[in-house]
Chains A and B, each alone.
Chain A
Amino acid sequence: MRYFAPTTVEEAVGLLAEAPGRKVFAGATDVIPQMRAGRPEPDGLVDLKHIDRLVGVRKTATGWVIGAATPTSQLTGNAELSAEFPGLCEGAGLIGSDQVQNRSSLGGNLCNASPAADSVPAMVVNAMRAVIASGGGTRTVAVQDVPTGPGRTTLAPGEFVIEFELDSAPANTGDAYLRLIPRTEMDIAVVGAAARITLDASGTVTAAALALGAVAPTVVRVADAESALVGKAIDDDVLAAVAAAASAACNPIDDKRGTITYRRHVAGVLAKRAVTIAAERARNRASGTPSTNGGSH
């Protein structure tokens, strides 16, 4: 195996084009454990962290750009981003330990394409886009359209994510991410749920997004829950409808981390809790109170 450390996107594209067995990496927090577990070593690993454009959290006129190889600790460490998108930062911040946080990236979390990836549901509800280096140029796709199943993505060989685009949140908007793990840390989500809610002045939901992780081969958008929310004030009946829609949207498997029945049930529970927190944050944002951080489950 050979290691490469290009400093420009073009150089990286060239290195990948040179030999088909090469692969990009950022934090290596998936790549190394997978090699250790017996996955074949690629012939070459292209380290993305020396390309300036791929590392860093930048505020733009219309929102944010997050380098695909940025360590997730830089997201949670960014006070402004955390205030505007607490749910996104919760999702990213739940990946592994502090040690892992200093390495793990959104690009790696998304492109490793684990159904349980913690940052992906929150990226999806915030309608983030991935800017992909493709051949000589770039293409931009919705984050949701990148993974296609466990370990599989729509990226063609030689393509990689350069950065993620995130539009500024409209007024009165809040997001949240919750997951269920048996421990309190250092675990892979049995179920994850991200919600984003926008309210009008009267407390009526004007926009809603709900996405679930670890309950299907890829992240699941729960359209029925979203339509149950929009145009309503959030009350117990609405939340019950959200929970029911979330449970129904699941297509889970039985595995070492959880059963089908369990995942379905908990998806509903976490969906309604995430919606509640997101709505609470949306209200607080309107009144100017800083948002609070949620727990890990």
Chain B
Amino acid sequence: MARRLINCVVNGDETDFLCEDGDSLLDSLRNEVGLTGVKEGCGTGDCGACSVLLNGRVTCSCLVFSPEADGATITTVEGLADGDHLHPLQECFLEGAALQCGICTPGFLVAAKALLDANPNPTESEVRYGLAGNLCRCTGYDKIVRAVLEAAAQMREANV
């Protein structure tokens, strides 16, 4: 079958890629756009490792058909830092040792960004429920939750 050309904005850049209609956005981002920071842990929406912002909303890219991305704006973990300047969440994950193996980290960072964009001052419980769609098997979540709360505090401070 003929492949379809998709035009979208990925991490601020006009991007196009070819896909078959049944491809997932996750596969296209990884294999066609080369953004392998977007991870596959399950391919069925259960782990959150593939999280991206699709038109500003956090989504599992494994649950999106690639043609749906036509005209969309997409942010992946690769687009969180501003050049060499890390996003506060990235800083806090590093400082707080919130990653062990790091496979879940891209998805957590993207989901946590969406969480803090919507709720700059979450409680611990809100962070835990808000990130329940992201599985981490290494950390027991303790340091991840702390890093997100710390980043939220830093971002609030920077905004006053």
A32–B133 CB distance below 8 A: no
Could you tell me how many residues of chain B have their Cβ less than 8 Å away from some Cβ of chain A? 31
Interface segment, one of A96-104, A126-134, A238-246, A278-286? A96-104
Q: Which of A42-74 contact B (CB under 8 A)?
A: 45, 47, 49, 71, 73
A32–B44 CB distance below 8 A: yes
**B43: chain A residues within 8 A (beta carbon):** 36
In the complex formed, the residue of A with least CB distance to B129 is A185
A186–B132 CB distance below 8 A: yes
A-facing mask of B56-82, CB < 8 A → 1, else 0?
Answer: 011110111101100000000000000
Please, how many angstroms separate the alpha-carbon atoms of A186 and B48 in the complex? Answer: 11
B133 contacts which of A2, A28, A98 (Cβ < 8 Å)? A98
Please, how many angstroms separate the alpha-carbon atoms of A97 and B110 in the complex? Answer: 14
Determine how close the nearest CB of chain A comes to the CB of B105; give it in whole angstroms: 16
In the complex formed, the residue of A with least CB distance to B70 is A5
**B44: chain A residues within 8 A (beta carbon):** 32-33, 36-37
Please, how many angstroms separate the alpha-carbon atoms of A99 and B41 in the complex? Answer: 15
Most chain A CB inside 10 Å of its own CB: which residue of B20, B46, B59, B63:
B63
A97–B59 CB distance below 8 A: no
**B62: chain A residues within 8 A (beta carbon):** 32
Please, how many angstroms separate the alpha-carbon atoms of A258 and B130 in the complex? Answer: 26
B64–A28 CB distance below 8 A: yes
Please, how many angstroms separate the alpha-carbon atoms of A27 and B59 in the complex? Answer: 10
A100–B57 CB distance below 8 A: no
B46 contacts which of A98, A184, A186 (Cβ < 8 Å)? A186
In the complex formed, the residue of A with least CB distance to B62 is A32
State whether the Cβ of B10 lies closer than 8 Å to any Cβ in chain A.
no
A100–B60 CB distance below 8 A: yes
B132 contacts which of A35, A41, A185 (Cβ < 8 Å)? A185
A29–B63 CB distance below 8 A: yes
**A262: chain B residues within 8 A (beta carbon):** none
B60 contacts which of A35, A99, A184 (Cβ < 8 Å)? A99
A3–B63 CB distance below 8 A: no
Please, how many angstroms separate the alpha-carbon atoms of A86 and B63 in the complex? Answer: 28
B-facing mask of A102-119, CB < 8 A → 1, else 0?
Answer: 110000000000000000
Could you tell me how many residues of chain A have their Cβ less than 8 Å away from some Cβ of chain B? 28
**B4: chain A residues within 8 A (beta carbon):** 3
State whether the Cβ of A156 lies closer than 8 Å to any Cβ in chain B.
no
State whether the Cβ of A201 lies closer than 8 Å to any Cβ in chain B.
no
B63 contacts which of A37, A45, A47, A103 (Cβ < 8 Å)? A103
In the complex formed, the residue of A with least CB distance to B55 is A102
Q: A98-B115, A100-B60 are in contact. Are A29 and B45 (CB under 8 A)?
A: yes
In the complex formed, the residue of B with least CB distance to A41 is B22
**A5: chain B residues within 8 A (beta carbon):** 67-68
Determine how close the nearest CB of chain A comes to the CB of B133; give it in whole angstroms: 2
In the complex formed, the residue of A with least CB distance to B130 is A98
A1–B21 CB distance below 8 A: yes
Please, how many angstroms separate the alpha-carbon atoms of A37 and B45 in the complex? Answer: 13
B-facing mask of A22-38, CB < 8 A → 1, else 0?
Answer: 00000111001101110
Binding site for A on B (CB under 8 A): 1, 4, 20-22, 24, 43-46, 48, 51, 54, 57-60, 62-65, 67-68, 111, 114-115, 129-130, 132-134
| Shortest 4 CB-CB contacts between residues of A and residues of B | A97-B133, A185-B132, A3-B21, A33-B44
Jot down 9 A-B pairs with beta carbons below 8 A, ordered by A: A1-B22, A3-B21, A5-B68, A35-B22, A96-B45, A97-B133, A98-B133, A100-B60, A185-B133
